Amino acid sequence: MEKRMIQIAKAVSAVFSPFYTPILAFLWLFFFSYLRLLPMRYKWFILAVVLLFTILIPIASINVFRRLNSWTHWQLSHREHRHMPYALTLLSYTTCLIIFQQINTAMFFRGIIMAAMAAMIICMIINTKWKISTHMVGIGGLVGTLISFSLIFVYNPLWPTCALLLLAGLLGTSRMLLRQHTLAQVLSGFAVGFVCAILFLLVIWI
């Protein structure tokens, strides 16, 4: 039974990686808000840029860095080994933001990327002394993004928010079952992601 729970926890952690947070936010915008009326070619272009610079390039560069150091995935998760992965990811996100600025995208498009970057910088600072759950930063950011968009575009996000909160509970439990984080690290991660999303999407918009 315990082995099965560990396998489920690993699967949940893999499926809901923090790398997927920005593209999930854009998918929500493009298919569940009035922005679904945008030209399909434009939506696919934006999604392609987000996919490249927030998922593919960061994951590839981190894997190259890990292999160069002959580390396992477990060793890479150690607090003292996380500085370079954060820096590589932040560099890729910065490139994505510059591209968005160059093509003059909507402010809340850039807000999604800025919120993720702000959360990442906070995690980098915290990581010098303490380990925080980036998985929970991601899911907290999604909850904050959903609430921000609901206020910006005026709709009721009750059921999606409930679903995300249940998912956050499942993800946090998974991280603790895998002994990657404590309860305090899980809750702190969620709070960082949520607050950054609110600040860079809702507050800036207003």
- Tokens read off for 9: 């926890």
Q: Would you kindly state where each structural domain of the chain is located, as residue ranges? A: 2-205
* C-alpha dist (Å) from residue 42 to 25, 37, 50: 16, 11, 13
Residue 206: pLDDT band with limits 50, 70, 90 = low
Radius of gyration of the chain (CA): 17
Query: Is residue 175 within 8 Å of residue 186, measured between CB atoms?
Result: yes
Q: What percent of the chain has pLDDT over 90?
A: 62
**Stretch 123-137: mean pLDDT, rounded?**
91
**Stretch 13-29: mean pLDDT, rounded?**
92
135-192 pLDDT, tens digit per residue, is 999 999 999 999 999 988 888 888 999 999 999 999 999 999 988 899 999 999 999 9
> In the prediction, which pLDDT does 19 show?
92
Length of the chain in terms of residues written: 206
Q: Of 190 and 29, which is predicted with more confidence?
A: 190
Query: Is residue 139 within 8 Å of residue 191, measured between CB atoms?
Result: no
- Tokens read off for 185: 């690290």
Burial of 1 (0-12, 13-18, 19+ CB in 10 A): exposed
- Tokens read off for 12: 């949940």
Residue 204: pLDDT band with limits 50, 70, 90 = low
Tell me the whole-structure pTM to 2 decimals. 0.90
Is the pLDDT at 205 greater than 70? The verdict is: no
Among candidate residues 147, 129, 148, the one with its CA nearest the CA of residue 188: 129
Residues 76, 69: Cα–Cα separation, whole Å: 10
CB atoms within 10 A of CB 56: 13
> In the prediction, which pLDDT does 78 show?
66
Q: Which 8-state DSSP code applies to residue 27? A: H
Is the pLDDT at 14 greater than 60? The verdict is: yes
